[in-house]
Amino acid sequence: MKFHLPQFQPGDRVKAKVAEIQNNGFMIVEFQGDLIRVQNQTQRCFQAGQDIALVVTRIQPYTFRLAEGQGRFDISI
């Protein structure tokens, strides 16, 4: 796996696919061929294979929220 994320700016929309759900509040999402571990800080339950749309809210560290809701995901690389 390559270890490089694109340069995001706050407000950018990102499409990802849930690859794996972990039982500790984390999940693995696939983004442009890379697997990224994220923490689900929402009350929503996701399923493997589900497409999700995220909006970049911060770049240091990268933080995302669901595009259609108020929840947040924090990237943990």
Whole-angstrom distance, CA of residue 57 vs CA of residue 74: 10
pTM of the model: 0.73
Look at residue 77 and tell me whether its pLDDT is greater than 50. Answer: no
Q: Which residue from 24, 2, 10, 7 is spatially nearest to 65, judged by alpha carbons?
A: 10
- pLDDT by residue (tens digit) across 10-65? 988 888 999 999 988 888 999 888 888 888 888 888 999 999 988 888 888 888 88
User: So where are the chain's domains?
Assistant: 13-75
The predicted structure's pLDDT at residue 71: 57
The pLDDT of residue 20 is 95
Contact criterion met (CB below 8 Å) for 56 and 64:
yes
| 11, two tokens | 């407000």
* Residue indicated by tokens 């933080």: 63
> To the nearest 10°, the Cα dihedral for 76, 2, 11, 19?
-60
Which residue has better confidence, 21 or 75?
A: 21
